[in-house]
Amino acid sequence: MIRIGKLTDYGILIMTHLAHDPERLHPAHEVAQAVGVNLPTANKLLKTLARSGLLESHRGTKGGYLLSRSPEAITMVDIIGALEGPVGLTDCGTAEQPGNCQREGSCSVRANWQRISQAVHDALASVTLSEMILPPSQPIHFMTRPSASLRPQP
């Protein structure tokens, strides 16, 4: 199974919390309590998101964090990229940027992995933070395939 990390999941929760009231400064302790993470974890994520340009940080007793752009202008690929790095399923590079794989030059499936990674990137880029704070308009049904042991044998 492909999953985002727990810290990234918490980071998305933090961003959705801030998106509910994007004009207000949110103190770190309030954010931590609202999303159910400890304060050191919330501080680490808030600072990372601020360094990436997704949040503005204001110091002082009345300080806190707020979104640097409207929730409509921030996508899931922005948030995941800030917390995990570039979105990709393998170490294959792109046409613009080489990857980290030693077999990159001779790999027979590289182009297909790049195509799949691009599809995942595009899907994440199509979901905005403003959409994440809304309930889904219709139920989501996941397509599953039967496992190999459940498939009929020829």
Domain boundaries, the chain: 6-130
What pLDDT does 140 receive?
A: 64
Query: Where on the phi/psi map is residue 85: left (φ > 0), alpha (ψ -120 to 50), or beta?
Result: left
- Prediction pTM value: 0.81
The model's confidence at residue 92, banded by pLDDT at 50, 70 and 90, is confident
What is the pLDDT averaged over residues 13-29?
Answer: 96
Task: List, in sequence order, every residue forming a beta bridge with 64; answer none if it has no partner.
Answer: 58
Beta carbons of 130 and 72 less than 8 angstroms apart: yes
Distance between CA atoms of residues 154 and 147, nearest Å: 15
What does the mean pLDDT of the chain come to?
Answer: 86
pLDDT per position as a tens digit, 56-81: 999 988 899 999 999 999 999 999 99
pLDDT at site 109: 85
For domain 6-130, give the CATH number: 1.10.10.10
Highest-confidence segment of 20-34, 75-89, 90-104? 20-34
Q: Tokens at residue 73, please?
A: 């202008």
pLDDT, tens digit, 9 for 90 and up, residues 115-154: 888 899 999 999 999 999 987 776 666 666 655 555 555 5
